[in-house]
Amino acid sequence: MSYKVDLSQLDRESGSLTQELVRRFAEAIDDGRLAPGERLPPTRELARLADVNPLTAARVYKRLRELGYLSATVGRGTFVRSLPPFASDELDDDWQAVALPSGKPSVRERVIQEAMRGVARPDMVSLGVGLPALESLPVAELAAAAAATFAELGAGALAYTDVEGAPELRDRLGQIGQQQGYAADGEEIVVTTGARQAIDLVARAVVRPDDVVCIESPTYVGILSSFEATGARVIGIPSDADGFDLDALERVLARYPVKLVALQPACHNPTGRHLSVERRERLLALARERSFFVLEDGVYARLTFDGDPPAPLRGRAPGHVIYVDSLSKTVGGGLRIGWAAARGPVFNRLVALKLATDLNTSPLDQRIAARYLSTHGHERLLADARVRYRVRAAALRAALERHLAGEYEASEPLGGNNLWLTLKRRVDERALYAEALRQGVSFTPGHSVLAEESQRASMRLTFSLADEEELDEGIRRLAVAFRAVLRADRFAATAPVS
Ligand SMILES: Cc1ncc(COP(=O)(O)O)c(C=O)c1O
């Protein structure tokens, strides 16, 4: 026959015509009779050449595609698969652009990367990264806890541990959770690599593409990134002085079946506000009525400036609320110890995802953290931090009045590390951000932490890392940048935003 693959004398008795044809094509491709990129006859033509049913011909190509021998493009035909050419130069990485799936870091991710780099620059006043005051970090206590861990456990300090977390840390977090009201015991705790991972595991465990998720906006950038990555529809819910806007949530609930609501009910990042008692009750009643999960992020919740922190939501509805927290805002983000508290099937999903992702959060760090948390050091640290951050928040507000009076609206934080500021005049937020970095001050641009586009320039200012003097200098530089951008844009200088 004329075709390159011998299609004659097929075994028509045994009933495996498809297999027989697949074998003959595969052999022809393997030995080079059919070359990469070569076009194969359409299925009807193959059916005619091999004298088989067109359905059999289609099955042959389908199987060859599954085996990786062929590729097909609708409307163009079926081809022998060609592999990308090898890079000609060892140092040339351009081939990766072809080999990798499409995707580049989002604006949100780029802002985080820049902010992390900015902290290391000595000439920069960093108002953009939620790091605790460096002088408050319990360096000596953690060093002692590390030494004691090695002295007691020897090589055992370096062993793997349970996927859910080291038993001693889960127990301790369970006790703390019981006192604070976010967990019944250690059995409800999954230890994670920072609260960031806890949030990501929750997003992946609960949400599927096309689900609807409501997220307090503005919020922590990682919450937006994780839920956007699921392919779910993310709807931003605004907040006011009483926190998360329940009326706005109810309007969404009237239109969509909502899968999850994510918020920070105490010392919210970035406004520093709490959710009011009345709204807490209403939110939990809605969660029960409409069967949605609540993701409660409590990483800043203990850092109230005055009085006790509001009780965690999870204590009131433990089956609906998944609580996430970490040591990052008190002991430091470098330890990467976080956790989630949950129960029921969602708990098992979180553990399964943790196993599939990284098996364990550093067991050594978990053992050190458990030891540290068994002392009163953390409570003392928290008490100091509350005073320190109350003073810094006041210093930041005073600096804003000194350098930018009349130009902004700002939240009045009740706790946490951050303040949310919106500029009254129309100014290009991205230009302001670039100019501020040039002037030597960083902040978190509003667009990176808002779920939806906003007409007004806004920003998160973090007051935990810089001392009072640095805060004043940072805001002075910000004001210089603001005026430079206004001058560059004549329209902005004359057009107030209502
Ligand atoms: C509100 C909020 N949740 C979670 C996180 C993540 O914390 P961690 O450093 O423990 O991953 C942050 C970090 O900035 C945060 O601000």
Atom of ligand 1 nearest to the CA of 196: 11
Q: For a substitution probing ligand 1, which of 267, 271, 324, 328 has the most ligand atoms within 8 Å of its CB?
A: 328
Q: What predicted TM-score, i.e. pTM, was given to this entire model?
A: 0.85
Asked if the bond preceding 309 is cis, omega within 30° of 0, the reply is no
Burial state string for 374-384 with b = 16 or more CB within 10 A and e = fewer than 16: eeebbeebbee
**Beta carbons of 441 and 124 less than 8 angstroms apart:** yes
Q: Considering only CA atoms, which of 166, 165, 161 is closest in space to residue 197? A: 165
Give me the half-sphere count of Cα atoms (radius 13 Å) on the Cβ side of residue 281.
2
Contact between residue 222 and residue 199 where contact means Cβ atoms under 8 Å apart = yes
Q: Which residues of the chain have pLDDT under 50?
A: 1
Q: What pLDDT does 1 receive?
A: 46
Ligand 1 centroid to Cα of residue 223, in Å, is: 9
Report the C-alpha gap between 119 and 340 in whole angstroms: 28
What does the pLDDT read at residue 465? 94
| Residues sharing a CB contact under 8 Å with residue 50, sequence separation 6 or more, in sequence order | 7, 10, 21, 57
Q: What does R_g of the chain's alpha carbons equal in angstroms?
A: 29
Structure tokens at 107: 């604006």
Which residue's alpha carbon is at the smallest distance from atom 16 of ligand 1?
A: 220
Residue 86's pLDDT is 59
The string of DSSP codes covering 425-488 is: B---HHHHHHHHHHHTEEEEEGGGT-SS--SS-EEEEE-SSS-HHHHHHHHHHHHHHHHHHHHH
Distance (Å, whole) CA 413 – CA 397: 10
pLDDT at 88: 60
Q: Give dist(CA 336, CA 194) in Å, integer.
A: 4
Q: How far is CA 84 from the centre of its chain?
A: 33
Contacts of residue 350, defined as CB under 8 A and 6 or more positions apart, other chains included, come to 190, 201, 202, 205, 322, 340, 342
Q: How many CB atoms lie within 10 A of CB 438?
A: 12
Q: Could you give the count of Cα atoms lying within 13 Å of 255 in the half-sphere of its Cβ?
A: 9
Q: What share of the chain is helix, strand, coil (3-state, %, to 5)?
A: 50, 15, 35
Task: Report the pocket of ligand 1 as residue ranges, CB < 6 Å.
Answer: 130, 194-196, 220, 222, 264, 269, 297, 299, 326, 328, 333, 338
Please identify which residue in the block is written with the tokens 């609930």.
253
CA of 220 to the centre of ligand 1 (A): 7
The ligand 1 atom at the shortest distance from the C-alpha of residue 130 is 14
Q: Which of 326, 56, 16 is nearest to 198 (CA)?
A: 326
The kind and range of the H/E element at 137 are none
Per-residue pLDDT at 72: 81
Helix or strand or coil: residue 26?
helix
pLDDT at 175: 98
The contacts found for 396-405 with CB under 8 angstroms, 24 or more apart, are 396/461, 396/463, 396/471, 396/475, 398/472, 399/471, 399/472, 399/474, 399/475, 399/476, 400/475, 402/472, 402/475, 402/476, 403/472, 403/475, 403/476, 403/478, 403/479, 404/475, 404/478, 404/479, 404/482
Residue 20, SS3? helix
pLDDT at 84: 65
| Ligand 1 centroid, distance to 181 Cα (angstroms) | 20
Rounded to 10 degrees, the C-alpha dihedral 362/365/370/372 comes to -170
Ligand 1 centroid to residue 113 C-alpha, Å: 14
The pLDDT of residue 12: 80
In angstroms, the CA 433 to CA 431 distance is 5
User: Which residue's entry shows tokens 């690599």?
Assistant: 193
* Among protein residues, the one whose CA lies closest to atom 13 of ligand 1: 130
Which atom of ligand 1 has the smallest separation from the CA of 193?
11
Q: How far is the CA of 333 from the centre of ligand 1 (A)?
A: 8
Which residue has the least CA distance to atom 2 on ligand 1?
A: 220
Predicted confidence (pLDDT) per residue in 244-288, tens digit: 999 999 999 999 999 999 999 999 999 999 999 999 999 999 999
Distances (CA, A) of 350 to 103, 215, 354, 457: 26, 20, 6, 37
Pocket test for ligand 1, best of 327, 329, 366 (most atoms within 8 A of CB): 329
Q: How far apart are CA 20 and CA 36, in angstroms?
A: 21
The answer to whether 459 and 407 have CB atoms below 8 angstroms apart is: no
**Helix extents (H) in 68-187:** 94-99, 107-119, 139-153, 167-180
Whose CA is closest to atom 1 on ligand 1?
Answer: 220
